[in-house]
Amino acid sequence: MNTTGWWIGYSIGIVIVLVVVALVVPILRLARSIGGQAADINSSLEKSVRNTAPLAALRTTIEHATIIIGGLQRGRNRLGG
């Protein structure tokens, strides 16, 4: 019985599996690295949200400052300045 064909088939199959593993392992390592960085990025973004939350009140501050400036200008005009 000739088993040469079987050995060639097994050899080709092993080579294909090794090639697939060689291609998939770097992808998995890169995905793990990206996953670790994503956690750091998310943490930084959450800090940014907390640190910039007071900017939402900036419009109110500007409105009040505008009213105050208007009052000061009216006072100056009444005093003749």
Among positive and negative, which fits the CA dihedral 7, 10, 12, 14?
Answer: negative
DSSP symbols for 41-67: HHHHHHHHHHHHGGGGGHHHHHHHHHH
Q: What is the number of domains present in the chain?
A: 1
pLDDT, tens digit only, all 81 positions of the chain: 678 889 999 999 999 999 999 999 999 999 999 998 999 999 999 999 999 988 888 999 999 999 999 999 999 999 986
74: containing domain: 4-78
